[in-house]
Amino acid sequence: MIRPRAVTAVAAGAAALALAGCGSTASPESSSGGAAARISVSDPYIPLPPSPDAAAGYLTLHNSGGSADRLLRVASPDARSVTMHRSTTASMEPLESLTVPAHGSAAFSRGADHLMIMGLDDRPRVGRTVELDLTFAASGTITVKVPIQPVAYRPPGAGN
Ligand SMILES: [Cu+2]
């Protein structure tokens, strides 16, 4: 099952650490300015892949802050590699980064940008989770536990 509250808590903690680490002079309490990016993650899932060799990962990134941020790379201790891909009409190509606009969102979703997860270290099954470590230019690394879902799963908020 998805536990959005847990994911948000992890994301908020990572963002706070990143702010402290980069020597920002803004105090965490002064939220009125809202200049910094504030990233959270919702609806992460991996449709059950036929084999551990290659799986697709989907999730939505939200930025409630006043500055854009960029997802630079994704890694996983549970897989050999994770890459960001953009689907084109013919095939797909690597994506260098994904921008999350200020007060906006960006998503990896079916038929569009997606995460390619290669070489899962355990046989995939529904209910297992895969850790993804998302590293942002401004917000640092946010860790998400992504559940493997049935092949036809759609997240609750998906309009299409
Ligand atoms: Cu791909």
pLDDT digits (tens, 9 = 90+) for 6-15: 444 444 444 4
Which residue range(s) make up the domain with 99? 4-20+41-149
Q: What is the CATH number of the domain that holds 80?
A: 2.60.40.1890
**CA–centroid distance, residue 82 to ligand 1 (Å):** 10
- Give the contacts of 130 (CB within 8 A, at least 6 positions apart): 46, 55, 57, 76, 78, 79, 117, 120, 145, 146, 148
Q: Tell whether the model's pLDDT for residue 2 goes beyond 90.
A: no
The Å distance, Cα 108 to ligand 1 centre, comes to 11
Q: What is the pTM of this model?
A: 0.77
Convert the pLDDT of each residue in 12-26 to its tens digit. Answer: 444 444 444 343 444
Residue 140 predicted with pLDDT over 70: yes
**Residue 31: inside a domain:** no
Structural domains in the chain (count): 1
pLDDT at position 90 over 90: no
Cα(89) to centroid of ligand 1, in Å? Answer: 12
CB 48 within 8 A of CB 126: yes
pLDDT bucket at 159, cuts 50 / 70 / 90 = low
- Rounded Cα distance, 112 and 124, in Å: 23
Assigned domain for 29 exists: no
Q: Which residues face 152 on adjacent strands?
A: none
Residue 142 in any domain: the answer is yes
53-75 burial: b if 16+ Cβ within 10 Å, else e: eebebbbbbbbebebbbbbeebe
Q: 50 lies in a domain? A: yes
pLDDT, average across residues 131-160? 92
